[in-house]
Amino acid sequence: MDLAQFLVQALNGVQYGLLLFLVASGLTLIFGIMGIINLAHGAFYMIGAYLAYWLVGLTDNLFLAILLGIPIAVAVGLVIERLLIARLYDRDHLDQVLLTYGLILILNETQKILWGSDFHGVPVPEMLAGSVPLTENQAYPVYRLFISAVCLGVAAGMWLVIARTRLGMMIRAGASNREMTSALGINIGRVFAIVFALGVALAAFSGMIGAPVSSVYPGMGDRVLIISFVVVVIGGIGSVKGAFIGALLIGLADTFGRVLVPDFASMVIYALMALVLLWRPQGLFGRAP
């Protein structure tokens, strides 16, 4: 691989990594900070993609669709948290696994009832439809660069909210010491409900923003679920920074794995996860238990 190729692939890797962070961002909140094992993360992502397809059909504008879709996702998240998840905070993690598995089934079938089983494409918004030349014969799609920018925006936004706002303080405080937080007069139940809803909204948002490149189809959430867990676990549970770096690492490893060891490409990210966990059982930026 010559230098130009290397740089191009590095760009691909970083770009893919950013996409992975976006896709995993909702899980980073729900699983990483609240400690809820949310297997339905992929299903929320899929619902987001279908929302985009549906709303773009109605409005003919992806950005408008996203604006309309996010409140829907937040509402869904709040309802699910209040009705179901809130009853499980004091229970065994395995109950969360079982419950969110049930949620996957419900959401999958809901998707099918509402939108049917066909494959759909969502057009790239016209203003972002072009490509910019990269090498003599390869160009880079503007929309992918746009997504990268959105990913960086989401990462920065998550960082801002968590590091710089009162809500973020409450989230961090609640994650480190629930009792003390509530003893200071914070309604921790409400904070967790908001975090869960935000997590769902992020999952749906990544589904919406990704719809033009990933296309929209039943079962698209499955792949997202596993890779999101890999991102959060490699980065270290509870660390947004960890998830960000973990995602970039996976993006690069996966990209170079495909090019350099094509025979084992599909195993690279899992091998990476196994190695990271053997070296640092709490993930790259996780706090030691």
Partner 1 sequence: MTDTTRARPSRRRFLAGAAATGAIASTGFVPTRFAIGGQAPVKVGILLPYSGTYASLGEAITNGMKMRIEQAGGTLGGRPVEYIAIDSEASPPQAPRHTKKLVIKDQVDFLVGPVHSGVALAMAQVVAGRDKPIMIIPNAGANALTRGQCARNIFRASFSNWQTCYPCGQVMADDGHKTVVTMTWKYAAGNEIMAAGTELFKEFGGAVIKDIRVPFPDVEFQAHLSEIAALKPDAVLAFFSGGGAIKFVKDYAAAGLKDSIPLYGPGFLTEGLTEGQGAAAEGIKTTLHYARTLDTPVNRMFLEAYKKAYNKEADVFAVQGFDTGSLLLQAIDATEGDTGADASPAMIEALSAAEVPDSPRGPWRMSEAHNPIMDIYLRQVEGGVNKILGVASRDLEDPATGCKLDT
Partner 2 sequence: MSQTALLEAAGLHTYYGASHVLRGVDLTIRPGESVGLLGRNGMGKTTTIRSILGLTPPRRGKVTLDGRPVTGAPPHTIARRGVALVPEGRGIFPNLTVRENLTMGARPAPPDSPAEDWALDRVLTLFPPLGERLDTWGNLLSGGQQQMLSMGRALMTNPRLLILDEATEGLAPQVRNEIWSVVRAIKDAGIATLIVDKDLKTMLRVCDHCVILAKGQVVYAGPASALAADPEIHVRFLGI
Partner 3 sequence: MTASPAPVLLHLIALALLAAFPWVGGEFYVDLALTLMILALFALSLDLLVGYTGLVSFGHAAFFGLAGYVLAMITPETEPVSLWAALAACLAASAAAALVIGWFSVRTSGIYFIMITLAFAQMLYYFLSESPAFGGSDGLFVNFRPVAAVGDWLLFDLDDPMVFYYFVLATLLAGYALLTTILRAPFGQVLQGIRINEGRTRALGFPTPRYKLVSFVIAGTLAGLAGFLEAVHTGYVSPGHLSWHESGIVLMVVILGGRGTLYGPVLGAFTFGLLRNGLQDVTEHWILFMGLFIVALVLFLPGGIAGLIRRAPKGGSQ
Number of amino acids touching partner 1 (CB under 8 A): 46
DSSP 8-state secondary structure symbol assigned to residue 120: B
- Tokens matching residue 221: 């959430």
- In angstroms, give the least distance from the CB of 20 to partner 3: 16
- Tokens matching residue 227: 């890779």
What 3-state DSSP class applies to 216?
strand
CA 43 – CA 224 distance, rounded (Å): 9
- In angstroms, give the least distance from the CB of 159 to partner 2: 13
84 binds, among partner 3, partner 1, partner 2, none (CB under 5 to 8 A by kind): partner 3
% helix, strand, coil for the chain, step of 5: 75, 5, 20
Q: Of the two residues 128 and 194, which places its CB atom closer to partner 2 in the complex?
A: 194
Q: Of the two residues 4 and 97, which places its CB atom closer to partner 3 in the complex?
A: 97
- Contact segment (CB under 8 A) with partner 3 among 53-61, 103-111, 121-129, 132-140 equals 103-111
Q: Determine, following the binding rule CB under 8 A, whether residue 288 of this chain makes contact with partner 3.
A: no
- Tokens matching residue 1: 């691989």
Q: Of the two residues 175 and 268, which places its CB atom closer to partner 1 in the complex?
A: 268
Give the residue among 122, 124, 116 at the shortest CA–CA distance from 218. Answer: 116
50 binds, among partner 2, partner 1, partner 3, none (CB under 5 to 8 A by kind): none
| Number of neighbouring beta carbons within 10 Å of residue 65 | 23
- Tokens matching residue 70: 């996010």
- Tokens matching residue 244: 């960000």
Q: Determine, following the binding rule CB under 8 A, whether residue 63 of this chain makes contact with partner 3.
A: no
To the nearest 10°, the Cα dihedral for 280, 283, 286, 289?
Answer: -60
Binding mask 143-172 for partner 2 (x = CB under 8 A): -----------------------x--xx-x
Q: How far is CA 155 from CA 27, 200, 205, in A?
A: 13, 16, 13
226 binds, among partner 3, partner 2, partner 1, none (CB under 5 to 8 A by kind): partner 3
19, 230, 240, 250: which one binds partner 3 (CB under 8 A)? 230
Angle at 29 between CA 28 and CA 35, to 5 degrees: 90
What is the contact surface with partner 3 in residues (CB under 8 A)? 37, 84, 87-88, 91, 93-95, 97-99, 101-110, 113, 226, 229-230, 233, 237, 263, 266-267, 270-271, 273-274, 277-278, 281-283, 289
What is the contact surface with partner 2 in residues (CB under 8 A)? 166, 169-170, 172-173, 175-177, 179-189
